[in-house]
Structure 1
């Protein structure tokens, strides 16, 4: 494929050397999607274990009222510890794919570097489970994490919520729910290239319709899987598409980042600006020449390292950690 002229040279060299597989998600049937999920899960299960002292535990915790239990994956530093910072994490996957395992390396790195405890939620996926099932699972997992903070060794005053891509959108929505339902208290929100707006109406959705990794057709597929015929309509909830929220005041401090060459670029820029205008302390990064998920696809690139360090630094400040 022809890549955008603004593509970072180091990223370009990497994806030209090892071209990414092309998946036409937009034309995929439910059966094909489920098969793709199963294949991805099998690959992850067969991957070598990351050598680390971090303990990883899978549990099931109470779900939303009348719904099944929710899976969570808990990452804790070696040794005993109390009153550690906590990160409640929500994985990506376009609302239709993914499990907490896909972020094992990132979460283990956060635990090792920051001494925090991570709880990563395994929410139900669309289209089998459309809105509000995914966000309600995420909220239920957050409520359990806050309630179990003492057992987990988490300082409840230093509990952040974060996520990437669809997980970033769900993180923003979960934080909105926590504000509007009177808790749990959230100290910080880490929104990495979040999926926020179902309306498909920003300049970047047109400019980067053929974007690397997550293009416009895939984005439309993800939103339609979540919202069905309501997508783009007037009655979409901000807890499904946080860009729809009219009032962003009273939310915790935020970090938002996105690549220049993404469908999500403009909705993320706008959300960060609206947070700041609402009085929410906000840090925003637009990475020049970067495509969606660049830091995971080309982890050794200078731009990828810079992005990861900015997120770690933001968490460090939010938690009041030294160094």
Structure 2
């Protein structure tokens, strides 16, 4: 299947800019992280005047977590979206996802908290998952300081961050909170089954391969025992009942497509409200192509509309 024209333009531009770093296969860990930063730099834009952005830190025993805070200019406490960035558990950062998270704040009207967690392989599971859940609890606990409404919180994440967002909903259910209005999972990594149809037959994704995902999950889950842990691989949780409504945004040419589709089936079977949208002609990471593709822009705004509905927010007067 051919790419959406805007996706093709994004692929061509990115490959030309990255050169030998375009393909993950032969990259060292340092190169993989540098590649993520360079890819992000290609799409960064100045913020609109009505968006306030600052960095803060969650101070925990033995570590500090960077949080980039995006606040649309508005009166009163705002709903919040706790966002976990992607990067194959090994790369990525709030800075590297700046365009995506700024866009999310601008087009939902919610305050977005973009969290940096410890990364594999130096810090394998449960470190990234623990950090994600700690950040979620911090957001609810420090609601007054942050200027957010603790009764209107959602969690979201892309790729590896989608794994962490899904895990947060399971932990919040099992540990008594925080209460969540929605989980938005964007081309998420939810299992370690490399023999799904999308892994075996969906080989058209320009930047993500089956082998690259195997490396990522081996870094995140170096011990075979952890692959039976539902917080590490939310697909394998013993129960999916009692979770917040879900929005899954997937790509038809992504090797991870079946992770998302199968998880949606599990959530539905357990009685949770689920919306699924599969972008046609799309690849893993396609939100970065929003300025080049009308189809991606439509997919993004549909997800924003679902988040606004869940968080009881009106449509913003301005889009960005």
Same-fold call, TM > 0.5? yes
CA deviations 1:117-158 (Å, max 9, x no partner) are: 111111011111100000101111111110011121111111
CA contact (8 A) 1:99 1:122 kept: yes
Q: C-alpha distance in 1, partners of 2:85/2:280?
A: 24
Could you tell which deviates more after superposition, 12-21 or 250-259? 12-21
CA contact (8 A) 1:26 1:220 kept: no
CA contact (8 A) 2:9 2:292 kept: no
Q: C-alpha distance in 1, partners of 2:71/2:148?
A: 10
Match of 1:157 in 2: 151
Match of 2:67 in 1: 72
Alignment of 1:1-323 (within 5 A): 5-12=1-8, 14-16=10-12, 19=15, 21=18, 23-33=22-32, 36=35, 40=38, 44=41, 49-63=46-60, 66-78=61-73, 81-209=75-203, 211-230=205-224, 235-297=227-289, 299-323=291-315
CA contact (8 A) 1:295 1:303 kept: no
Q: C-alpha distance in 1, partners of 2:287/2:70?
A: 22
Q: C-alpha distance in 2, partners of 1:174/1:303?
A: 30
1:101 is paired with a residue of what secondary structure? coil
Q: C-alpha distance in 2, partners of 1:236/1:214?
A: 25
CA contact (8 A) 2:14 2:22 kept: no
Could you tell which deviates more after superposition, 195-204 or 291-300? 291-300
Quick one: structure 1 residues 68 and 215, their matched pair in 2 at CA, closer, same or farther if it must change by over 3 Å? same
Quick one: structure 1 residues 156 and 245, their matched pair in 2 at CA, closer, same or farther if it must change by over 3 Å? same
CA deviations 1:296-322 (Å, max 9, x no partner) are: 135331211111111111111111223
Quick one: higher RCO (CA 8 Å, sep 6+), 1 or 2? 2
Quick one: structure 1 residues 137 and 112, their matched pair in 2 at CA, closer, same or farther if it must change by over 3 Å? same
Q: C-alpha distance in 2, partners of 1:114/1:282?
A: 19
CA deviations 1:79-103 (Å, max 9, x no partner) are: 5x32311111111111111111122
TM-fit CA distance, 1:6: 4.2
Moved over 6 A (4+): none
TM-fit CA distance, 1:239: 1.2
Quick one: structure 1 residues 154 and 101, their matched pair in 2 at CA, closer, same or farther if it must change by over 3 Å? same
TM-score of the aligned structures, taking structure 2 as reference length: 0.88
1:271 is paired with a residue of what secondary structure? helix
Q: How much is the aligned-residue C-alpha RMSD, in angstroms? A: 2.5
CA contact (8 A) 2:58 2:135 kept: yes
Quick one: structure 1 residues 35 and 262, their matched pair in 2 at CA, closer, same or farther if it must change by over 3 Å? closer
TM-score of the aligned structures, taking structure 1 as reference length: 0.88
TM-fit CA distance, 1:116: 1.6
CA contact (8 A) 1:7 1:290 kept: yes
Q: Which runs of 5+ in 1 are unaligned?
A: none
Q: C-alpha distance in 2, partners of 1:246/1:234?
A: 14
Q: Which runs of 5+ in 2 are unaligned?
A: 316-320
TM-fit CA distance, 1:26: 3.9
CA contact (8 A) 1:14 1:298 kept: no
Q: C-alpha distance in 1, partners of 2:99/2:298?
A: 17
CA deviations 1:160-186 (Å, max 9, x no partner) are: 000111111111011111111111111
TM-fit CA distance, 1:32: 4.1
Q: C-alpha distance in 2, partners of 1:298/1:110?
A: 12
